[in-house]
Amino acid sequence: MIKAPHYSSVGAKRDHAFALPSDYFDGTVNRPVLHQAVKVFLNNQRQGTHQTKTRSFVSGGNQKPWKQKGTGRARQGSTRAPHWRGGGTVFGPQPRDYRTEIPRKVKQLARKSALNARASEGSLHVVERFVFRRPKTAQLADLLATLGVGGRKVLVLTAGRNDSLYLSGRNLPTVDVMPYLQASAYDILWAEAVVVEEGALTGVVPEPLPEEEAERTERAERAKKAERTERAEKTERKASASKAAKAAKTAKTAKKTEAKAAKKSAAKARKAKPAPSRSGGKSTAKAAKKAAGKPAPKKKGSK
């Protein structure tokens, strides 16, 4: 049975060591599996956006540097060939996906091996409970210093979600806080010391303190208030945009109606104006003159 140092919530060391669960802490450390898990984890962190320029992406080299024959030198086709200075790169890294899969049971075995390795080294510490009524970085730093792990890379594992503790350790560059069930083999091997909450190993999640519950409720209310404010602003922006679009549509309709009315009035004006005769102005004048020179017809029975 492997035992670990046991501490109170304020860092006072208990007289008796904490007996780690034998079904998980059996002292087995499988190094090949640990190597595979760490390699997979690091592979999955890579973005794979690296890219070198081949000769097709290097500018220049549009013509032969010299003619094919007669110079005594070796024939060359472009100054951007790979063997030229400033030319393209041959077999350089290109964008690719480094995603690597690992079986679930292998991942679990690697995590178990990492915890056993830290426990066998004496680098695993058990704390009864993390009592943080509100986020306080100094309180967490003092607790780690009391445990004797101050200034080292420390992984703090909680029994459940603890927002106050997470916010307390966020500003410490060598401290990582996460729930016990989310820790991977790489996280455990990264840390030089592992501090675990007792409830994570026994399976009994401690009840939150009244102050922690009040802080969590207040934080949730603030988040809900911010969400309501954002939703109201979004609705207001949407309403104003809809109103502006409606006003623009009304103005466009009015402009179209006005143009149609002007077109109709212009058509009425053209209809009211007498149309000019086909004979033209000269023919009309000649007809008027001829009618004026012709004598009036005589009535019947007059002399």
Q: What string of DSSP letters covers 12-71? A: PBPSSPEEPPTTT-S----HHHHHHHHHHHHHHH---------TTTSS---S-SS-SSSS
Q: Where are the domains positioned within the chain?
A: 3-47+96-202, 207-244
Q: What is the mean pLDDT of residues 115-139?
A: 93
Q: What is the mean pLDDT of residues 76-95?
A: 95
3-47+96-202 CATH fold: Ribosomal Protein L4; Chain: A; (3.40.1370)
With vertex at residue 274, the alpha carbon angle to CA 270 and CA 280, rounded to the nearest 5 degrees, is: 120
The single-letter DSSP state of residue 183 is -
Give the 3-state secondary structure of residue 299: coil
Q: Give tens-digit pLDDT for 244-265.
A: 999 999 999 998 888 888 888 8
Position 267 scores a pLDDT of 84
- Least confident piece of the model among 46-55, 75-84, 243-252: 243-252
Compute how many other C-beta atoms are within 10 angstroms of the C-beta atom of residue 244.
10
- Which pTM was predicted? 0.65
For residue 50, is pLDDT > 70? yes
Position 286 scores a pLDDT of 61
